[in-house]
A and B are shown apart, each in its own frame.
Chain A
């Protein structure tokens, strides 16, 4: 990140969007599994808890929260600071 060539983002890409993607996909798959495709044997295994449904809903919420966080607090580009600040020299 010391190279001044790229100007778009500080600290490579935004990990929060990757986490949002992961949990939204997992959440949707598990919720659908929980609603329609969890066998009685599967329910019995988990002591009657529909863990797919509950787990899926929680993951969906977590995924959406990560997306919102990234959306509302985007990474700020700090072009004003000197280049060598990236090495920690800017701390005083």
Chain B
């Protein structure tokens, strides 16, 4: 953290930059205040009263993830690994989002559950539900802390405030609009944040490319500076990203570990994401949510890894750090990539927009964590196990109160996040622990009616424990995977162990009767209840989920070929 107190990273912000940032805050809090008028029940607060149009939930869907993970972590990946960063998007996120929209959303939205853990409760009963609710709530406050830490470093850079002051101030702003307007305020702000983030990344990319002499200039400079430049300029096999030298194993690690397990686990079962789709106003809009979000998701990576690569050649500090193999202690790390670019490329005016974009990104990430944490805590923990059968406004008040508690805990976890060199490693590890086994359990549970409640719970525990074990073995040097391959292997282990254990436990325990599984398991659900309306505002071939889904897969495949 003393790295960031270093004066050479201080941005030269002028009055106009503060005006632009200030105006943004006025709109953020204004949205919170306006959204408050629409909150009259707990469903309004936690799920926006299921009233949102698809383009809003679609953009909020990706914006909820466009926090510390994307902006700091992915530009850092771009600077460190180059083109292989795209795998997090084109192999990772996109297929998973299409799968969510086409296959899983009908179960989520159709069963009218209010959260992902609630789906587990209906499918597997209390054991699995409690395991997942607790681990999800814990993960979200940790992730909120990561975002908060990153946000605080930005304010620290900009204003020179001590990190702890910045953390508390940032938490207060997010807290203000999420307690006032609930999920509606969070979603509306996420959409606005999305546009502001693009308004930050697009000028950085254009000016950066201009400065290095276009893509060819970037390739030439990168080749001159690095011995292993070809690994950074081609997406496959991505050995530098996975840390797996064998190209075949590296591709398997990417496709199975990152693409299938980690990304499907994250995008299809993470309630912070799925919640945005559940707030859509109809089944059609809910299915289109991840599919509409997938298009900007496919393209935005271009505005993330390219600036990262540019920073590694035009920023002298970062270039030196990279040349030293990441060991030089000169006050910058890969995590500073985006800040260095903003400092070096943007004049006052656009600088203010960029600072606003960074602040927006972190608030989006934190608000997503907080607004999903309060929902799971209130519906899945408090209402289900602690205080049942109270009137609805009791749970609305609980939700507002727990939002405050969540923010306070996040402030504590913000300090944990400061300990890691690459925030992405830390987050990937977390996702591996929580999401990969969950995806395995959902996949089995949705398509195999025999799977028993006991198998659901034990599978999750064993899966998570497997991920932790692999992670510990990797960290203590029993086997060594540099890069991010360790997280891919841990997630894969969690997935496989979850499947194996679930099948074994299922065979020796009693399943739920079929009548309780209608709407939750594929083979027992009437096909009509999974369909969506295609008349009125849901009509038109371009609103068909299948068309949208295939379209974005083709787009991602074409881009993959271009950057092969």
Contacts and interface: CB of A to CB of B under 8 A. Distances in A.
A21 B192 CA distance: 11
Interface string A34-68: 10011101110111110110011001001000000
Contact of B533 (A25, A29, A37, A91): A91
B24 to A, nearest CB: 7
A90 interface: yes
B192 A18 contact: yes
B345 A45 contact: yes
B495 interface: no
Interface string A1-45: 111010000111101001101110110011001100111011101
A42 B203 CA distance: 14
A19 B194 CA distance: 11
Contact of B27 (A13, A21, A42, A51): A21
B37 interface: yes
Nearest to A11: B51
Contacts of B286: 88
Given A30-B349, A38-B347, A47 B207 contact: yes
A48 B203 CA distance: 13
A43 B347 CA distance: 7
Contacts of B19: 29
Contact of B37 (A12, A18, A47): A12
Contacts of A56: 349
A43 to B, nearest CB: 7
Interface string B278-311: 0001111010000000000000000000000000
A77 interface: no
Interface stretch (B39-47, B69-77, B262-270): B39-47
A86 B49 contact: yes
A15, A22, A43 pick with most chain B CB within 10 angstroms: A15
Contacts of A92: 528, 531, 533
B375 to A, nearest CB: 16
A19 B199 CA distance: 12
Contacts of A59: 199
A1 B284 contact: no
Given A45-B347, A47-B211, A88 B41 contact: no
Contacts of B346: 45-46, 51
B109, B191, B203 pick with most chain A CB within 10 angstroms: B203
Given A12-B184, A25-B23, A91 B349 contact: no
A26 B347 contact: no
B484 interface: no
Contacts of B24: 22
A55 B16 CA distance: 15
Contact of B38 (A12, A19, A21, A39): A12
B475 interface: no
Given A19-B192, A39-B347, A91-B282, A49 B51 contact: no
Given A15-B188, A42-B347, A51-B347, A88 B50 contact: yes
Contact of B16 (A23, A33, A45, A46): A33
A39 B34 CA distance: 39
Interface in B532-561: 532-533, 537
A30 B34 CA distance: 28
Interface in B421-464: none
Given A22-B24, A22-B27, A34-B349, A2 B41 contact: yes
Interface residues of B, number: 55
Interface in B50-97: 50-53, 56
A92 B532 CA distance: 6
A63 B509 CA distance: 60
Nearest to B207: A46
B471 to A, nearest CB: 39
A56 to B, nearest CB: 8
Contacts of B192: 15, 18-19, 22
Given A11-B53, A30-B353, A59-B199, A42 B348 contact: yes
B249 interface: no
B210 interface: yes
B13 interface: no
A48 B51 CA distance: 47
B385 interface: no
A51 B31 CA distance: 29
A88 B109 contact: yes
Contacts of B528: 92
Contact of A88 (B199, B211, B282, B531): B282
A5 B27 CA distance: 26
A58 to B, nearest CB: 8
B347 A88 contact: no
Contacts of A49: 206-207, 210
Contacts of B533: 90-92
Given A37-B16, A51-B207, A86-B51, 16 more contacts: A1-B38, A1-B44, A11-B51, A12-B37, A12-B51, A15-B188, A15-B191, A21-B27, A22-B195, A33-B349, A42-B347, A55-B199, A76-B537, A87-B50, A87-B112, A88-B112
Query: What are the 10 A-B residue pairs with the smallest beta carbon separation, nearest first?
Result: A42-B347, A33-B349, A1-B49, A91-B283, A47-B211, A52-B349, A12-B38, A1-B51, A11-B51, A46-B207
Interface of A: 1-3, 5, 10-13, 15, 18-19, 21-23, 25-26, 29-30, 33-34, 37-39, 41-43, 45-49, 51-52, 55-56, 59, 62, 76, 86-92
Interface of B: 16, 19-20, 23-24, 27, 30-31, 34-35, 37-38, 40-41, 43-44, 49-53, 56, 109-110, 112, 184, 188, 191-192, 195-196, 199, 203, 206-207, 210-211, 281-284, 286, 344-350, 353, 528, 531-533, 537
13 contacts: A12-B34, A15-B56, A18-B31, A22-B23, A30-B349, A39-B347, A43-B347, A46-B207, A51-B203, A55-B203, A88-B109, A88-B282, A91-B284
